[in-house]
Chains A and B, each alone.
Chain A
Amino acid sequence: MATLLEVSGVSVTFDGFRAINNLSIAMAEPELRAVIGPNGAGKTTFMDIVTGKTRPDEGRVLWTERQIDLLKLSESQIATAGIGRKFQKPTVFEDQSVRDNLAMALANKRGPLSVLMWKASAADRARIQDLAEEVGLAARLDHRAGHLSHGQKQWLEIGMLLAQDPRLLLVDEPAAGMTPAEREHTTALLTRAARSRAVMVIEHDMEFIRRLDCRVTVLHEGSVLAEGSLDHVTQDQQVIDVYLGR
């Protein structure tokens, strides 16, 4: 297991509030990792930094064995470098079909001219079909994404992430608002994806994390409080204090 993502000594301040404070996290490939923490712990801000939405005040974010400095890249460059992100709120393009949503995410060339000339090859169509089957939307390929249920939208978004063929998936609260059956499906999707790539999941729901059965990082006030198996961190006195109040 080689280090895929290395975040070290990162800090960011919003109007005097230190959202991230000297945070260091490393991800291997493949790996499944859960990140938990109370509200305001900096989980989403951390993802914002890795994906280029927020620039940190200090620290380094290095990517792959080639040590690419992610802080110098734009959002779209980071995405094409191999980092995919799923937002907390499902954000699929509701006006367009499931097929078009997936086609847009496919790992093809992204320049305006090559997109203008793009025609779905047999391989592209097969890949879209596979992805749709993977996330359980094969029967809905030609439906408008806006007509999907909440859970199906979440899956479509995960499908779009997989279509990008990223080396690292950042997934923000995938199970929010899902029924138990839908959660189970989501868990299966994520663990399968983590066999060949790095997957980092932010989640509040302890039961969901237990099912993921992976290494857990606890964030608190912008830095890492504890790291280890779920049982290990839940027995940590500091973690108990933070979650249950002092």
Chain B
Amino acid sequence: MKIDVSSPAAPAPVRRSFLRDNPSVLWFMGLLGLFTLGVTVLSEGMGVGVISTSLVKVLGMTLCLCLIAVAMDVVWGYCGILSLGHFAFFGLGGYAIGMWLMYARTEIVIRDNLGRGTIPPTEAEVSEAVAAQIFGVVGSSELPLIWSFAGSLPFQLAMVVLVPGLLALVFGWLAFRSRVTGVYLSILTQAMTLALSLYLFQNDTGLRGNNGLSGLQNIPGSLHLPQSVISVWFFWASAFALGAGYLLFAWVVSGKFGSVIKAIRDNEARVRFLGYNVEGYKLFVFTLTGIISGIAGALYYPQAGIINPAEIAPIASIYLAVWVAIGGRGRLYGAVIGAALVSLLSSWLTGGGAPNIDLGFYRIVWTDWWLVLLGLGFVLVTLFFPKGIGGLFDYLVRKS
């Protein structure tokens, strides 16, 4: 016998399109496009000049942070892996592109100088002079092995994808294969990012130790262009990357794949008994998000102008988790809201933009109090709004 509670079954729905099923993706793309257009029109370099070049850079960097936050949301909010190490991938992407930026620009300057002599310089002389220029600061004049192809843009662009991707793949394979989960996995990812950061701090590593790579805002081949124009280019590239990344992840989490990774988040043992290789899925998600994080970093640091090992410190990855939690886990736009809001608020309050408040008996200096405010916000969101700011949209949709 069958117990069929109500009317005959509804007919199976016809095949629906991806965008029709996910209206928030269209909304997001539209808003991102409008924002990009608005900033361009108001920018110093391309438009009327209401928005200063430094603000364009901050906004462009914020878009990169939104991209890594979306990646973090996929790995944590959807797949349940609380990675506290994704900024390591972000930093590696930055280092990979930074090597080319620094090498190629130094090479142009050196050739310019040496070329003024009567005898044209040999390749070996150029290479030596570049090495001495870049590594003088750490007391060396040898070009480390990892810089062998630093003069090649295609090679370093490949490294932007390959280095974070391989690190995520190897680390993930070791961790997931041993079935390390939950807080232990989080600790392991922290250890990874800490170890990487300490490794990069050493001068012997060949990435200029604590000096990091600098002058990254100067783009070889476009050295004659003002920063006001370059900043808008990078803003566009960041907006494009965020849009493409958002679309990619929205597609990844929308179908059956999304179903499986959410199921892994909720009960991974059960997913195994359904016949899915849980470790393979986790590795796939971890590596894919690692690669996208690397790309986000490669766009971020040319706008920041400098990268050093402190950027990879564990605290950066913890902030990332805080952004996603505040914005709302398990919804991609939530991660964008969280990252944009918190990082912009942070640069406003700590950059001296916000007026300090004089209470008479006490003066609230935002540079000191910002972290307290952030911590308090995190606690409040966790306790009272587990769905984060993005959860407000559910509320609004239900009301209307």
> Which residues of A are at the interface with B, using a C-beta cutoff of 8 A?
51, 53, 74-77, 79-80, 84-85, 87, 91, 93-96, 100, 103-105, 110-112, 115-116, 118-120, 125-126, 128-129, 132-134, 136, 138-142, 160, 164, 181-182, 184-185, 188
Contacts and interface: CB of A to CB of B under 8 A. Distances in A.
Contacts, number: 106
Given A76-B272, A118-B255, 7 more contacts: A76-B278, A91-B267, A93-B266, A103-B256, A133-B4, A139-B4, A160-B274
A-B pairs with lowest CB-CB distance, top 6: A79-B275, A138-B9, A80-B275, A75-B272, A125-B12, A136-B3
Most buried by B among A74, A76, A79: A76
B357 to A, nearest CB: 43
Contact of A134 (B2, B278, B281): B2
B16 to A, nearest CB: 10
Contacts of B1: 184-185, 188
B273 A118 contact: no
B260 interface: yes
Contacts of B255: 115-116, 118-119
A53 B269 CA distance: 9
27 contacts: A74-B277, A76-B274, A76-B276, A76-B278, A79-B274, A80-B275, A87-B270, A91-B267, A94-B266, A96-B262, A100-B256, A103-B256, A103-B259, A104-B260, A104-B263, A110-B277, A115-B260, A116-B255, A120-B15, A128-B12, A132-B9, A136-B3, A138-B4, A140-B5, A142-B10, A185-B1, A188-B1
A93 B9 contact: no
Nearest to B9: A138
A219 B280 CA distance: 37
Contacts of A134: 2
Contacts of A53: 269
Most buried by A among B273, B278, B281: B273
Interface of B: 1-10, 12, 15, 252, 255-257, 259-260, 262-263, 266-267, 269-270, 272-278, 280-281, 284
Contacts of B269: 53, 75
Contacts of A141: 9-10
Contact of B274 (A136, A164, A188): A164
A46 B318 CA distance: 43
B259 A111 contact: no
A153 to B, nearest CB: 12
A96 B280 CA distance: 22
A188 to B, nearest CB: 5
Nearest to A126: B12
B12 A93 contact: no
A66 B56 CA distance: 67
A80 B3 CA distance: 30
A112 B274 contact: no
A134 B7 CA distance: 15
B263 A116 contact: no
A177 to B, nearest CB: 16
B6 A139 contact: yes
Contact of A118 (B2, B15, B252, B256): B256
